[in-house]
Amino acid sequence: MVDLKGKKALITGASSGFGADFADILAKKGMNLVITARREDKLNALKTNIIKKYGVSVRVVAMDLTGFDAADRLYAEVKDENIDMLINNAGYGMYGWFEKQNVAELNRMVQLNVVSAMILANLFAKDFSAKNSGWILNTASFAAFNPTPFYAVYGATKAFLMNFSVALRTELKKNGTNVCVTAFCPGFTATEFVETAGQKRSWFLEKTIGKSYPAAVEAIEALLKNKPIVMPRLMNRFGAFCLRFMPRSMAADAAFSSICEKK
């Protein structure tokens, strides 16, 4: 079993959902934390709760990571903290017909989901490789496996994160570096994601949505074992397996039918 006591994790998107779950799970294992997101009040509330429960050190860095230089600024803010684990969890989705979506907002989403995560992974991979130790978890999605109408751009960002994570893990492993990289690919989960994306909870969604905390526990366990991809819940793994044998156009049609809204 990996001993994380006294080590330090940087968690982006920590104000709610998986980010807050990761903070609780890692603090319970004795890790000190640096938590970041836009909503400082939520971060401070999480900090107070974590310290009360586990007595670890928690630093809050309130920051919007959608700016073109935001990831570099965050790294400059925390580079002297001796970070041992990066949880690239910040991100959001946009639901709707692509041609009706605002291109500036789409650009912000790509900046956050892809560019900021990639830059942070690059900067911390250098640090972790230098000390031959570290962990990087990138929150992707089940959507990474499937062309997803109404989430066309979001799904593409998560496909990038999944493939990037596996490629980076392979490079580090082949270099003989003791740095773990895992792509976390949950399906629909009971977080703020659906509401933030602008999607209504359909009957199908209500029947298939999962809980976030057990999924986050599974993600951390997979990261510590250096698994390339972790996908919680059997139904999600079965769905991803079936997609291997389905033409992408057919998979997209199936996804369209399951989450369609009237135009």
Instruction: Give the residue numbers marked as catalytic.
Output: 154, 158
Q: Are 117 and 161 in contact (CB under 8 A)?
A: yes
Q: Are 94 and 111 in contact (CB under 8 A)?
A: no
Nearest of 35, 106, 118, 22 to residue 70 by alpha carbon: 118
Nearest of 59, 50, 55 to residue 23 by alpha carbon: 50
* Angle, CA of 120, 64 and 121, to the nearest 5°: 5
Measure the CA–CA gap between 33 and 27, rounded to whole angstroms.
7
The residues that bridge with 249 in the sheet, in sequence order, are none
Burial of residue 126, with CB atoms counted within 10 A of its CB: 0-12 exposed, 13-18 middle, 19 or more buried: exposed
Nearest of 31, 30, 36, 97 to residue 65 by alpha carbon: 36
Q: Are 31 and 9 in contact (CB under 8 A)?
A: yes
